[in-house]
Structure formats: C-alpha cells, structure tokens
Structure 1
Amino acid sequence: MKKYETVMVFSTAIAEEETQALVEKFKNLIAKNGTVESVDDWGKRRLAYPINDENDGYYVLVNFSCEPDFPAELDRVYKITDGVLRSLIVAKDE
C-alpha cells in the first residue's frame, strides 16, 4: 500500500450540511478502498483566483494509504460530483 494525500475544495454556495455530507462521502469511499490516516478540516478560505465565479472555497486535506490503482478512481468520482470545485491527489514519499 502506498501513502497519498488529497486536498478537496468544495463550493461555498452549497449549504454547510451538504459540504459535511460530501466530506463524509469521500472519507467513506477512501476508507472502503484503503486506510484513512488523518483528516484536516481547513475550513472556508479565499481562493487564489475565482473558480466558477466563486471567491471562497471549503478546504479539506486527507492523508490515506491504498493500492496504486485507487487514486484514479477517486479522481474520477471527484470530477463527476457536484459541489467539488478542485481536487488534488499526491503520492507521498515514504
């Protein structure tokens, strides 16, 4: 199993309950396919540049370990989920 970290930026146009539901959805998806090591909720922050006419985003960082084929599936799910402005998955050095 390799170690990864992912940063998710959610839209602030959706309700806070919906944002928390999305965070739980992705934590559960990662836990089902690997091991969640830590979740760091950064909260609402200003974006470096507007995305879809939004200036703020809700940031969450998750460190996890999984098999090398899972990050591609996770990225696919990010792209088809409403409310996700941006996401990034990075393999960590061990």
Structure 2
Amino acid sequence: MSREYEAVYIFDSALEDAAIADKIEKHHGLLGLAEPATLDHWGRRQLAYKIKNKEAGYYVVARFKAEGKALPEFERALKLDEGVIRYLISVHEHELGAPPMTEEQLAARRARDGDDDDDEE
C-alpha cells in the first residue's frame, strides 16, 4: 500500500548544489517512486546548534508517495551518507493551516464577523 510521506533533509552546506541533487536522486531511486517527488529547496541556513561540528546546512523538503516496505533501505542509505547531516521522514496526512475557502464561504465569514463586531459595543 502506497502512502504519502514528507522528508526533510539537512545536507552538509559545503556540498555543491549538483552533488546535493545527485544525492537526492540516488536516494529517491531506492524508493521506486511511480511519480517524481516534489522538492522544495530551502537552501543554505544557519543551524540552531552544531550538528556533527557543522554550523550551517542545506535544507530540502521532499514529498513523495512510496511503499512502506521501501523505507528501511532508504533510511539506511541516508544514515550511511556522510553528506546528510540530519533527516526526518514522516507520514504526510494533510496540509498545515486552514483549508482553502471559496468566495461564498469568505463572504459568509465576513458577514458573520461583521455581525459579531456590533455585539462588542
């Protein structure tokens, strides 16, 4: 059964952008993805605290659908890769924040919020 996952990677900031892209492609190849992962490159950022004597890292957030049985080998490869400082893989259940609203819903909310303001005076 395929599930949607989200993975956050922190790569060594000393790596070239091409090397990071190659590592991501290699690791995602282990998952056997039917459709390519969506990647969000956050870029090089200062770490809140040192990890493996590094003060900065290159952040990438990936969202993909994969079989659960492929994750152990994927995670093992990430652990062995010295260019990966940290990673976190989680099941992606839903988007954060409020769901998008239609124009009618927004108008109804504005009307309701306008009525509530009259009660406060």
TM-score by length of 1: 0.83
Q: Distance in 2 between matches of 1:40 and 1:74?
A: 19
| Percent pairwise identity | 32
SS at match of 1:35: coil
- The one-letter code of the counterpart of 1:87 is Y
User: Which fold has the larger relative contact order, with Cα–Cα distance below 8 Å and residues 6 or more apart in sequence?
Assistant: 1
Q: Which residue of 2 aligns with 1:23?
A: 24
Q: Which residue of 2 aligns with 1:7?
A: 8
More helix by share: 2
Q: Deviations over 1:21-64 (max 9, x none)?
A: 2123234334x244334111111111111012111000111100
Aligned residues: 93
Conserved in 2, the CA contact under 8 Å of 1:8 and 1:59? yes
More strand by share: 1
Q: Which residue of 2 aligns with 1:83?
A: 83
- Deviation larger for 21-30 or 70-79: 21-30
Aligned CA distance change for structure 1 residues 93 and 15 (closer, same or farther; 3 Å): closer
Structure 1's unaligned 5+ residue stretches are none
Structure 2's unaligned 5+ residue stretches are 95-121
Supply the RMSD in Å over aligned alpha carbons. 1.8
Q: Distance in 2 between matches of 1:58 and 1:78?
A: 15
- The one-letter code of the counterpart of 1:26 is H
**Residue 40, structure 1, aligned to residue 40, structure 2:** yes
